Amino acid sequence: MNTARPFEKPSATLAARRTPAQHAARRQHLRRELLTSPWAPLSLLGIAFVLDVALIESLPETAAWAQPVMRGWGLAMVLASVALWGWRQVSAKARALLQPRHDASELIAEVERLLSRGAGSLPAPAVERLLEHALRVEAASIADHADTLRAEVKVLDGLATELWGAQRRPFAGSFLVGIAKALFIALLIRTVIIEPYRIPSGSMLPTLQLGDQVFINKFIYGVRIPLLNVVPFRIVRAPARGDVIVFNNPVDTSTDLIKRVVGVPGDTVEFVDDGVVINGQPQPRELESANSVVHNRAEESGAWFEEHLVLYREHLSGVTHAALQNPVRPPARAHEGPYVVPEGHVFVAGDNRDNSLDSRYGLGGPVVPAYVPDGHIKGKAMIVWLSWGYDGLLSSLFKGTGLRAERFFEPVR
C-alpha cells in the first residue's frame, strides 16, 4: 500500500534534478538572454554612472576626462538598448517567445517557491511529476520552441493547480506584490540614498541652468526623517561651505530650494560688492568676464531672455565655483550683513548673486535673514543627469527649449 510521505526539501528542487548538461545549457541560455535584453545596456550605464559619481565626488579633478567618457558611454548604451528593443519587435521568433518565456519563468518560480515552503505534504510521485514537467518547460524555453513551450506551460500550470489549488497566489496578487516591492525599494532609495531634483529658476546660474535635472546625495549628511525635519545622526559629515544643497524651505515648506552653503554654524558672513567675507576674511575671486551672457526664463510667459552679467571665479573655503553679479545694482547692495549663523543651521546664497531669494532675503518670505535648519536639508547636489533647457536639441519645436546633451553628467561644483 502506497502511503503519502512528506518530501525532503533538499531533493525537491530543480537544481538537484538537473544533469550537468542541463546546468550548462541553462547557464548558456541565461547569458544569452542577459546579453540580448534591452535592459542590459541600461544596467551597464547605471553601474558606470554610480562609479562616475563616486569618482568625481572623491576626486573632482577627474571630471575633465570622466564627463566626456560618460557621455560617450551613455550614448552607446542608449543606442544599444534601442537596437535590442527594435530587434525584439522586428524578429518574429523573438516576439513569439517573449510572452511564453515570461509565463514559464513566473510559473517555475512559483512552483519552486511552493515546494520550498512545503505547502503541506505531497506524495513523492507528485513531486517527481512537478519537477519533471518543470524541467520540460525549462528545456522548451532553452530550445526556443514557442509552441512546445506554451503546451508545456499549460501542463505544468494544470498540475500545480491540481496539487495546490487555493494555495497558489493569483496572478493579480503576484503582480500587486511585485509592484509593492518595487515601490518600497524605490521609496527606500529616494528616502535614504539618492533623489532627483529639477532646477526651477535661474538663481544658481551659471553653475546650474534652468531645466537641469540633478541627483542629490541623501546619505552624506545623515538620514533625514521627513515631516519631523530631524537628522538623528550624521553618516559622513555635516554640510560644509561650498556645498550645493537641496533643502525644504523652512519659510514655505511646500517648496524645495537649491542654493550654495556659504556659512556654517558660528560663522559671520558678509557680502562686500557681492564678494563673500567669512569671519572677516575675504574669499578670493577673479574676474573671468565683464560681459557674460546667460539665459533666464520669464515665469509668466515662459519666454527665454538674455542677461549680461559679470562672471567671477570664486574660491569658498577651497571650493572653486562660478558666480554672477549684476553690474548695475543699488548702493544698498554694496555691503550686506553681517549675518551670524546659529547652531544647527547653515547660511545659503545663490551663485547668481543679484537674482536669488536666499538667506539674505528671507528665503522668499519676510525680508529678514533666514537660515536653513539641518533637519530641512535633503542632500548634496552631485551631478546633472539630464538637461532640458535653452537652445537644446529639438528646441525649435518647444519654444526654444530642448535637450542639452552637453550638460549630461556635468558635476555640480
Q: Hey, what's the torsion of the CAs at 339, 241, 345, 249, to 10 degrees?
A: 100
Catalytic residue among 81, 141, 203, 356: 203
259 is catalytic: yes
Spatial contact of 209 and 346, defined as CB atoms under 8 Å apart: no
Spatial contact of 168 and 161, defined as CB atoms under 8 Å apart: yes
Residue type, 285: R
**Residue 57 CB burial class (10 angstroms; 0-12, 13-18, ≥19):** middle
Separation of alpha carbons 120 and 340, rounded Å: 70
Catalytic residue among 81, 141, 259, 380: 259
Output the nine-digit C-alpha cell for 245. Answer: 544643497
Separation of alpha carbons 7 and 126, rounded Å: 10
Spatial contact of 260 and 348, defined as CB atoms under 8 Å apart: yes
Spatial contact of 150 and 32, defined as CB atoms under 8 Å apart: no
Output the nine-digit C-alpha cell for 91. Answer: 524578429
Distances in whole angstroms, Cα of residue 126 to Cα of each of 5, 118, 119, 121, 130: 11, 13, 13, 10, 6
Residues serving a catalytic function are 203, 259
